[in-house]
């Protein structure tokens, strides 16, 4: 009789656990990062005693409240999150470059370059007319100011990106400290680790994966505690989190955990490093190549020429690159010093003005003329943004697909939980009735003895 009572009581307790589990699932239907739970049951085969009782068994055991998740799918989701973070971060900065360069657009630069060289052509036609010299000075000022503004804006975005790396490194360290604390709590809980801790662990891991691609491994002494590497370097070693830092070595930026370099391949931090080293670095280099080439070729010609007053050996441009290229103040203040003639004292000779006017068609780099170089620069910036935007769409589509499959495993299905609640309620009622029947039987037996 006692065995029957305990058997039904175990069923009652199992029904209670099932109801609690479904209630937990339903209450966290919209909780981000929550993984649905399922009660795992097994029959209790140990009845005690001897004979037929051993064949019957003694009820049900609640073996575990299991999180319904798939480690491989979770890793795939984290890896894809890292890829999406990489391309979205690059797209964000390139969109900013496009926005800030809108007022200093390459198209406008090309037009202003045309205005500058056309002004030289006009001077070559009317060398004695001061109005054309003043017009040339004005066109040069607009042209060089445009180059200056573009160079300064690219440098500003570059510095903002470096600053953003510092912010993201700090955020990453906060996440790692949080994971170290979660590991500590997991290690302290013993055999039955609260599922809420594991959910928090996985939430933080996914958040971390947006910053860098990561490799998660589980500790041998506690399979729920984790360690994390990125680019071959430790970020987290069980309860120890490494302090990630940004290192600037001869204008080369990289990340370190204090003992080893972190050579990550995706994630927002890698994106910002690539933006500084590859994208903006390339744009600045090309703009400087354009500016320095222009300074050299125009100055080399202008220095050999003569002004209407016989002045010679004067540089047309001052400065060393895109950020400081400008017309020589001596020429700006006195346009009569502009060299237009190849021969001193020869009235009407405008060979120098013609040569400078033709510089636009001369080679600046990679066998490209100044005109084609500017157009190529413009196309490269547009193509970079277009390529990255396409990748953002593609990678997000992949992430959505993985996320949907992940949600089908981990997510709460309200209809399923309602069905489970009804099932557990019936189970509870049935076992309660069985206990009542046993109780009534015991009363009957006791009354017989009386």
Other Cβ atoms within 10 Å of 143 Cβ, number: 22
Give pLDDT, residue 49.
58
pLDDT at 190 over 70: yes
- Least confident residue range of 106-115, 142-151, 311-320: 106-115
CA–centroid distance for 87 within its chain: 6
In 3D space, the residue among 261, 221, 223, 266 whose CA is nearest the CA of residue 245 turns out to be 261
Paired tokens of 373:
């170089």
Higher-pLDDT residue of 103 and 131 is 131
Eight-class DSSP state of 231? T
Residue pointed to by tokens 């209790």:
44
Q: Are 101 and 150 in contact (CB under 8 A)?
A: yes
Task: Output the pLDDT for position 143.
Answer: 95
Beta pairing partners, 249: 252
Residue 47: pLDDT band with limits 50, 70, 90:
low
DSSP state letter for 312: B
φ/ψ (deg, to 5) at 278: -105, -60
Q: How confident is the model at residue 375 (pLDDT cuts 50, 70, 90)?
A: confident
CA distance 332 to 326: 10
- Contacts of 180-187 with C-beta under 8 Å, sequence gap 24+, read 180/236, 180/238, 180/239, 180/240, 180/241, 183/225, 183/226, 183/236, 183/238, 183/239, 184/239, 186/222, 186/224, 186/225, 187/222, 187/225, 187/238, 187/239
Token digits of residue 354? 């013609």
Quote the DSSP letter at residue 164. H
The pLDDT confidence band at residue 318, using thresholds 50, 70 and 90, is very high
User: What does the pLDDT read at residue 8?
Assistant: 84
Separation CA 29–CA 410 (nearest Å): 11
pLDDT at position 128 over 60: yes
Residue 346's pLDDT is what?
Answer: 81
> Per-residue pLDDT averaged across 310-336, rounded?
96
What is the distance between the alpha carbons of residues 103 and 106, in angstroms, rounded to a whole number? Answer: 9
**pTM of the entire structure?**
0.87
**CA 444 to chain centroid:** 74
Burial of residue 408, with CB atoms counted within 10 A of its CB: 0-12 exposed, 13-18 middle, 19 or more buried: exposed
Among 78-87, 129-138, 229-238, 429-438, the minimum mean pLDDT is found in 429-438
- What's the token pair of residue 341? 């003639």
Q: Is there a contact between 266 and 83 (Cβ–Cβ < 8 Å)? A: yes
Structural contact between residues 241 and 180, judged by C-beta atoms closer than 8 angstroms: yes
Out of 52-66, 114-128, 152-166, pick the least confident.
52-66
Among 52-56, 63-67, 197-201, 246-250, whose mean pLDDT is lowest?
A: 52-56
For residue 311, the SS3 value is: coil
Residue 258 sits at φ, ψ, to 5 deg, of 100, -25
Percent of the chain scoring above 70 in pLDDT: 92
pLDDT for residue 252? 85
> Is residue 102's pLDDT more than 80?
no
Alpha-carbon gap, residue 395 to 402, rounded angstroms: 11
CA distance 39 to 65: 5
Beta bridge partners of 369: 363
Q: Which 8-state DSSP code applies to residue 35?
A: -
């Amino acid at each position: 009789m006692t065995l029957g009572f305990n058997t039904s009581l175990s069923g009652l307790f199992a029904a209670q656990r099932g109801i609690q589990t479904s209630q937990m699932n339903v209450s966290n239907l919209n909780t981000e990062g929550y993984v649905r739970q399922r009660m795992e049951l097994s029959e209790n085969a140990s009845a005690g005693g001897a004979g037929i009782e051993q064949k019957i068994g003694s009820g049900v055991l609640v073996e575990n409240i299991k999180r319904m998740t798939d480690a491989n799918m979770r890793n795939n989701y984290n890896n894809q999150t890292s890829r999406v973070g990489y391309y979205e971060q690059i797209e964000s900065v390139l969109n900013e470059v496009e926005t800030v360069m809108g007022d200093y657009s390459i198209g406008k630069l090309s037009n202003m370059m045309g205005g500058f060289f056309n002004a030289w052509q006009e001077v070559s036609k009317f060398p004695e007319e001061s109005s054309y010299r003043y017009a040339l000075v004005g066109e040069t000022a607009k042209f060089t100011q445009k180059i200056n503004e573009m160079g300064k804006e690219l440098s500003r975005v570059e510095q903002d990106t470096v600053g953003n790396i510092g912010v993201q490194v700090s955020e990453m360290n906060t996440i790692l400290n949080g994971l170290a604390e979660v590991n500590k709590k997991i290690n302290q809980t013993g055999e039955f680790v609260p599922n809420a801790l594991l959910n928090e662990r996985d939430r933080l891991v996914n958040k971390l994966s947006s910053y860098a691609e990561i490799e998660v491994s589980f500790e041998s002494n506690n399979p729920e505690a984790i360690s994390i590497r990125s680019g071959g370097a430790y970020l987290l070693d069980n309860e120890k989190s490494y302090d990630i830092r940004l290192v600037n070595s001869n204008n080369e930026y990289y990340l370190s955990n204090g003992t080893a370099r972190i050579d990550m391949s995706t994630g927002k931090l890698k994106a910002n490093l690539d933006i500084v080293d590859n994208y903006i670095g390339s744009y600045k280099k090309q703009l400087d190549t354009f500016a320095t080439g222009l300074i050299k070729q125009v100055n080399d010609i202008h220095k050999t020429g003569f002004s209407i007053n016989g002045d010679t050996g004067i540089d047309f441009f001052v400065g060393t690159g895109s950020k400081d290229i400008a017309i020589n103040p001596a020429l700006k203040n006195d346009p009569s010093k502009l060299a237009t003639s190849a021969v001193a004292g020869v009235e009407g000779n405008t060979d120098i003005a013609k040569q400078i006017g033709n510089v636009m068609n001369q080679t600046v780099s990679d066998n490209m003329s100044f005109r084609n170089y500017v157009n190529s620069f413009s196309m490269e910036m547009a193509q970079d943004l277009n390529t990255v935007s396409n990748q953002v769409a593609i990678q997000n589509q992949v992430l959505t697909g993985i996320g949907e499959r992940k949600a089908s495993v981990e997510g709460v299905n309200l209809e399923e939980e309602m069905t489970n609640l009804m099932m557990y309620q019936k189970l509870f009622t049935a076992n309660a009735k069985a206990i009542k029947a046993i109780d009534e039987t015991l009363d009957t037996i006791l009354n017989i003895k009386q």
